[in-house]
Amino acid sequence: MPSKSLSIPLCALLTLAHIHAQEAPKYDAASVQRGKEFFVSHCGFCHGVNAKGGEKGPDLLRSVLVLDDENGSSLGPFLAHGRPDKGMPAFTLTPEQVTDIANFLHRAIYAAADRDTYQVHNIVTGNAQAGEKYFQAHCASCHSPTGDLKGIGKKYDPENLQDNFVMPRPEEHGKPLLTISVTTADGKTVQGVPEHFDDFSVALRDSAGNYYSFKRTTPETPRIEIHNPLQAHYDLLARYTDTDIHNLTAYLVTLK
Ligand code: HEC
Ligand code: HEC
């Protein structure tokens, strides 16, 4: 009688080796999530919601100050003073908030640096059918393989394709990423693209081109709401496993 088979599919072996090699440093997930939320609402206007830089602030994933930081030890003192003369406001933060922001940024740096290693294997290990299932369950409410994502596998090479669904950057396609709405104490609401945002004032331009500027008398007044068309993508970031990402990539490359 043949011995009980030990044959493990090659792709599973690769996946195992991959997961092993990719053992991520442990960042407390709840802290990263809090840091992300804080960052998106307080820093994203200038640094981009993914910290990769925006119109008004530099890429923080390549910032030496952030790279050298350990658990907020450099970031905290820096944020307390900012560089107001250069457009970087000061922030009054609790030590927990500093830790959360630091965890979010370090996790993002890790993910960005790690991306190259991901690419080598993702096509090999991904299962397009499983990717399609995941797509139907989590993406089809906004996207269609025969509609907006038709030909996406031709538009990007696999590496950039994965980058783009993990963290789309529609601002690169000339569309504003965020809109905000501001509701004043007397209940009037205006909505538009943010032009300026700091602790003291907020300004926006509505779709008709009108410019509005408001003093912020308290953090809650006027009430500011941020509308991010990519919120679903950020929410998914916290839920994907490596395997989900590889499967999705394998599926999306088939959309020629
Ligand atoms: C109003 C726009 C604005 C906001 C809001 C803002 N920043 Fe900045 N930030 C800047 C600018 C501009 C610089 C570059 C300053 C300079 O040239 O030295 C900067 C620089 C930095 C740097 C230093 C980068 C380096 O390597 O020198 C860090 C770190 C940073 N910001 C973190 C944050 C964090 C965290 C938040 C949110 C809590 C935030 N910023 C909010 C505009 C902003
Ligand atoms: C709630 C809506 C929503 C959900 C759910 C969602 N997305 Fe998106 N997605 C968007 C928006 C909005 C954009 C930006 C569109 C643009 O660039 O014009 C986008 C952009 C993209 C892009 C970049 C398209 C391009 O041409 O560069 C890809 C790829 C993508 N999403 C894939 C996915 C995948 C895969 C999932 C599921 C895992 C998903 N999305 C879930 C709303 C959503």
Using alpha carbons, list the distances in angstroms from residue 95 to 42, 81, 91, 128: 16, 15, 12, 44
Q: Are 168 and 233 in contact (CB under 8 A)?
A: yes
- Mean predicted lDDT score pLDDT of the chain: 81
Q: What is the pLDDT of residue 10?
A: 36
Give yes or no for residue 140 having a pLDDT over 90.
Answer: yes
- The larger pLDDT score, comparing residue 158 to residue 97, is at 97
Give yes or no for residue 1 having a pLDDT over 90.
Answer: no
- 222 cis-preceded (ω within 30 degrees of 0): yes
> Mind listing the pLDDT tens digit for each residue in 195-209?
888 888 999 999 899
Q: Measured between alpha carbons, how far is 206 from 179 in angstroms, rounded to an integer?
A: 9
- Both tokens of 20, joined, read 């092993």
Q: Measured between alpha carbons, how far is 88 from 82 in angstroms, rounded to an integer?
A: 5
Q: What is the pLDDT of residue 28?
A: 87
By mean pLDDT, which of 31-35, 117-121, 157-161 is the weakest?
A: 117-121
Q: Is 236 near ligand 2, meaning CB less than 6 Å away?
A: yes
Give yes or no for residue 3 having a pLDDT over 50.
Answer: no
Which atom of ligand 1 is nearest the CA belonging to 78?
Answer: 29
Using alpha carbons, list the distances in angstroms from residue 60 to 42, 112, 225: 14, 12, 24
Q: Is 91 near ligand 1, meaning CB less than 6 Å away?
A: yes
> Mind listing the pLDDT tens digit for each residue in 145-195?
999 999 998 888 777 788 778 777 765 556 666 789 999 989 999 999 888
Q: Are 91 and 46 in contact (CB under 8 A)?
A: no
Q: Measured between alpha carbons, how far is 208 from 236 in angstroms, rounded to an integer?
A: 33
Q: Is 108 near ligand 1, meaning CB less than 6 Å away?
A: no
Q: Are 252 and 149 in contact (CB under 8 A)?
A: yes
In this structure, which ligand is nearest to the CA of 37?
1
Which pLDDT band holds residue 210 (cuts at 50, 70, 90)?
A: very high
Exposure string over 135-167, b if 16+ CB within 10 A, otherwise e: beebbeeeeebeeebeebbeeeebbebbbbbbb
In this structure, which ligand is nearest to the CA of 44?
1
- Both tokens of 119, joined, read 């690419």
Give yes or no for residue 16 having a pLDDT over 70.
Answer: no
Nearest CA to ligand 2 atom 16: 170
By mean pLDDT, which of 17-21, 47-51, 156-160, 188-192 is the weakest?
A: 17-21
